[in-house]
């Protein structure tokens, strides 16, 4: 690992609910969603930090924080368990003075201004915890310092048809930002913000204090802070990033990013010795590949047991594919069991799911009919299954189907789910109800 940079404080924003990921972020924070088999999404931001020599890290959580607390712990897998610096996880405390649910990305940092006040350096790096990429942050920080910038925004070029999901950045030949529009319906260009910012600390504090007093703001860096700095003539610069970067905020982009690991060469080399992606790893035995099994162009994690066929798929630790079963173009998360003679095609299946024998998941050629309840999220042919659901034997599931969490065979209306269908449990999430009641009392 690189020598630490003691002048930069890194803040990772990891509090978002990630509603576009549907059931995969219902019971966990979005940055804690499994990725590439054994990893979690936040592993990439954390690993980029330590590989860049940035070892003073604050992770701001909010939604379902226990999932991130359990994964990150004291930071040992990233060599961040140290007396000075290291990683700390901070969540909002309802009922405490000057604390409430974060109202936006800027408000999350504002509510932790005491951390900035105690920071002796004058450089703050702000990251999202939900992107897949490998990046050395030091060149961006150096450019920021050389330009004496008030803020430097990480940018890259993406296909223009995807640009409306991001902040659009226009910069001149010197790299100075001259226009910034957050998620416009008709983007002017395909140069977008990566949600990576390097701030001069004193300027950041001033801007957050101003924003907190404004009753009309969304308290968001992209919507409010950066445009306000531009309008007031602050020194704002763009840093161009030319390598792979993926926003995995939708079910489709999440699936695509996993599939891009199976190309030759892969979009992201997870085994590069000079830039290791670290994670909390469980002790499990080596994978077992049966004598009659067939595995091609797939990622198989430790602890898997493969007795059937796996084609162009990503399997997390502990997945079992029983005899005669076929998994194709799918993502299967931790400890899920695919029963005998079942076929799984174009699916994303969460942890500890049991697929009964003789089932067919992902049936038919109708990829275009969207899910009736979530047409904006499930519309490309992918069907999804939530954590710890048990599917009955012999079930047939079409395209763009959503099967919720914690379901049992008796919860299914029959043995055939047509394209666009949804099955969910009617039981309330008691923990969520308690949190809402506590919030309402404040």
Q: Give which of 140, 161, 313 is closest to 242, Cα–Cα.
A: 140
Q: What is the dihedral of CA 62, 277, 332, 430, to 10 degrees?
A: -20
pLDDT for the residue 62: 80
pLDDT for the residue 27: 83
pLDDT for the residue 17: 67
Burial 43-80 (b: 16+ CB within 10 A, else e): bbbbbbbbbbbbbbbbbbbbbbbebbeebbeebebbeb
Q: What CATH number is given for 8-262 in this structure?
A: 3.90.550.10
pLDDT for the residue 63: 75
The distance of Cα 303 from the centroid of its chain, to the nearest Å, equals 24
Parse the chain into domains and list their residue ranges. 8-262, 288-423
For the chain, the first-to-last Cα distance in angstroms comes to 45
pLDDT for the residue 5: 59
Q: Write phi, then psi, for 67 (nearest 5 degrees).
A: -65, -40
Residue 9 has pLDDT above 70, yes or no: yes
pLDDT for the residue 1: 44
In CATH, what class is 288-423? mainly beta
CA distances from 91 to 63, 218, 219 (A): 9, 20, 17
- The side-by-side arrangement of strands in the sheet containing 360-361 is 294-296, 309-311, 326-328, 343-345, 360-361, 396-397, 416-417
- What is the mean predicted confidence (pLDDT) over 17-40? 88
Tell me what percent of the chain is helix, strand and coil, each rounded to the nearest 5.
25, 25, 50
pLDDT for the residue 158: 93
Burial 265-291 (b: 16+ CB within 10 A, else e): eebbebeeeebebbbbeeeeeebebee
7 contacts: CB under 8 Å, gap ≥ 6: 121, 122, 123
Helix (H), strand (E) at residue 349: strand 347-349
Q: What is the pLDDT of residues 204-247, one digit of tens each?
A: 999 999 999 998 999 999 999 999 999 999 999 999 999 999 99
Q: How many C-beta atoms lie closer than 10 Å to residue 93's C-beta? A: 10
Q: What is the dihedral of CA 150, 155, 160, 161, to 10 degrees?
A: -100
Can you give the length of the chain in residues?
442
Q: What is the pLDDT of residues 72-113, one digit of tens each?
A: 998 999 989 887 789 999 877 544 444 456 778 999 999 989
Predicted TM-score (pTM) of this structure: 0.91
Q: Measured between alpha carbons, how far is 187 from 64 in angstroms, rounded to an integer?
A: 33
Q: What is the dihedral of CA 260, 262, 265, 270, to 10 degrees?
A: 80
């Amino acid at each position: 690992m690189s020598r630490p940079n003691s002048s930069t404080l890194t803040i990772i924003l990891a509090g978002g609910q990630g509603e576009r990921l549907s059931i995969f972020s219902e019971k966990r924070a979005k940055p804690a969603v499994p990725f590439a088999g054994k990893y979690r999404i936040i592993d990439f931001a954390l690993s980029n930090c330590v590989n860049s020599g940035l070892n003073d890290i604050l992770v701001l959580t909010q939604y379902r924080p226990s999932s991130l607390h359990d994964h990150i712990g004291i930071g040992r897998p990233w060599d961040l368990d140290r007396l000075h610096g290291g990683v700390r996880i901070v969540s909002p405390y309802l009922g405490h003075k000057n604390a409430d649910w974060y109202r936006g990305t800027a408000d999350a940092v504002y509510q932790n201004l005491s951390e900035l006040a105690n920071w002796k350096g004058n450089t703050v790096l702000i990251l999202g915890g939900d992107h897949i990429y490998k990046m050395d942050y030091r060149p961006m920080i150096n450019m920021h310092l050389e330009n004496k910038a008030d803020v430097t925004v990480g940018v890259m070029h993406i296909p223009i048809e995807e640009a409306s999901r991001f902040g659009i950045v226009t910069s001149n030949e010197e790299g100075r930002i001259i226009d910034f529009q957050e998620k416009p319906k008709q983007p002017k260009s395909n140069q977008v913000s990566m949600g990576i910012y390097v701030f001069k600390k004193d300027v950041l504090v001033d801007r957050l204090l101003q924003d907190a007093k404004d009753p009309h703001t969304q308290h968001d860096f992209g919507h409010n802070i950066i445009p306000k700095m531009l309008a007031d003539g602050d020194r704002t610069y763009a840093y161009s990033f030319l390598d792979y970067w993926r926003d995995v905020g939708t079910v489709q982009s999440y699936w695509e990013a996993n599939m891009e690991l199976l190309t030759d060469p892969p979009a992201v080399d997870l085994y590069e010795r000079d830039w290791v992606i670290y994670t909390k790893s469980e002790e499990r035995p080596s994978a077992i590949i049966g004598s009659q099994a067939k595995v091609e162009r797939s990622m198989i994690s430790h602890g898997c047991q493969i007795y059937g066929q796996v084609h162009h798929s990503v399997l997390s630790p502990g997945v079992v594919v029983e005899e005669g079963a076929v998994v194709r173009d799918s993502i299967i998360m931790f400890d899920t069991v695919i029963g005998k003679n079942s076929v799984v095609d174009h699916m994303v299946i969460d942890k500890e799911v049991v697929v009964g024998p003789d089932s067919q998941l992902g049936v038919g050629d109708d990829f275009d009919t969207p899910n009736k309840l979530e047409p904006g999220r499930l519309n490309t042919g992918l069907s999804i299954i939530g954590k710890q659901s048990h599917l009955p034997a012999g079930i047939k599931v079409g395209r763009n189907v959503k099967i919720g969490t914690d379901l049992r065979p008796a919860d299914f209306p029959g043995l055939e789910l047509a394209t666009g269908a949804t099955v969910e449990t009617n039981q309330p999430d008691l923990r969520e109800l308690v949190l809402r009641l506590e919030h309402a009392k404040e």
